[in-house]
């Protein structure tokens, strides 16, 4: 494929060709910004498991503060965010915890058709529109798209299998980001 050519797929229902990495179909306004000690991806944790004790904050837009009502009762929250430093996408990637190319949907790599990430963090405190969080694995300035409560009865599956990660997930607590997904 030439550098100026876009990957395309055919929608079986519509019969239309569409770019794999389409930048425009949806527009989301960030609800806030994540603040963390990580200003560069190099050397930062690749998952919250590797960021134990690392604190940060979520600065929620002030007009959304009422939406935080009752969230303080939860110990953990799910942050859905934009990989704002990621450009382009790859359908095959070599993830941090492997040396073999994998399908992007079998990884948590940032170079995705929709550059959206998810992290489960510990909620420490809420004061007005600022959430103090722990186990932060995000770049400082990450645009936050949504917050959801982590509910073990809904979100934890004891019988879940982790595919190829079943052999390498134990190193997630010490693995650090390198340059493989850098712009």
Longest CA span, the chain:
52
pLDDT in the model for residue 9: 46
User: pLDDT category, 1, cuts 50, 70, 90?
Assistant: very low
Q: Among 22, 57, 50, which Cα is nearest to 36's?
A: 57
pLDDT tops 60 at residue 128: yes
Of residues 163 and 139, more confidently modeled: 139
pLDDT tops 60 at residue 18: no
Locate 25 and state its tokens: 């179909």
* Mean pLDDT computed over 172-176: 57
Domains of the chain: 28-151 (2.40.30.70)
Helices in 66-178 by DSSP H: which ranges?
152-155
User: pLDDT category, 179, cuts 50, 70, 90?
Assistant: low
| Strand ranges, E, within 32-170 | 32-35, 55-60, 76-82, 92-93, 102-103, 116-127, 130-134, 142-149
pLDDT tops 60 at residue 159: yes
Mean pLDDT of the chain: 81
> Number of H helices and number of E strands within the chain?
1, 10
User: pLDDT category, 31, cuts 50, 70, 90?
Assistant: very high
C-alpha 28/C-alpha 61 separation (Å) is 14
Give the model confidence (pLDDT) of 131-143 as tens digits.
Answer: 999 999 899 999 9
pLDDT tops 50 at residue 11: no
Secondary structure class of 75 (helix, strand, coil): coil
pLDDT in the model for residue 12: 47
C-alpha 145/C-alpha 30 separation (Å) is 5
pLDDT in the model for residue 97: 73
142: Cβ contacts below 8 Å, ≥ 6 apart: 33, 34, 36, 81, 82, 84
Residue 105 host element (H or E): none
Of residues 16 and 83, more confidently modeled: 83
């Amino acid at each position: 494929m030439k550098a100026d050519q876009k990957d395309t797929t055919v929608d079986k229902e519509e019969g239309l060709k569409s770019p794999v990495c389409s930048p425009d179909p949806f527009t989301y306004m960030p609800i806030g910004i994540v603040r963390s000690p990580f200003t560069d991806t190099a050397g930062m944790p690749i998952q919250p498991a590797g960021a134990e004790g690392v604190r940060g904050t979520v600065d929620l837009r002030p007009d959304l503060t009422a939406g935080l009502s009752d969230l303080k009762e939860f110990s953990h929250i799910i942050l859905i965010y934009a990989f704002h430093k990621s450009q382009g996408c790859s359908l095959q990637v070599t993830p941090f915890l492997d040396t073999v190319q994998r399908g992007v949907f079998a990884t948590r790599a940032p170079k995705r058709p929709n550059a959206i990430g998810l992290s489960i963090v510990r909620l420490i405190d809420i004061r007005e529109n600022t959430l103090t969080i722990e186990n932060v694995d995000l770049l400082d300035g990450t645009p936050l798209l949504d917050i959801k409560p982590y509910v073990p009865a809904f979100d934890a599956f004891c019988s879940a299998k982790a595919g190829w990660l079943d052999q390498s997930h134990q190193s997630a607590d010490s693995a650090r980001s390198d340059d493989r997904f850098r712009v």
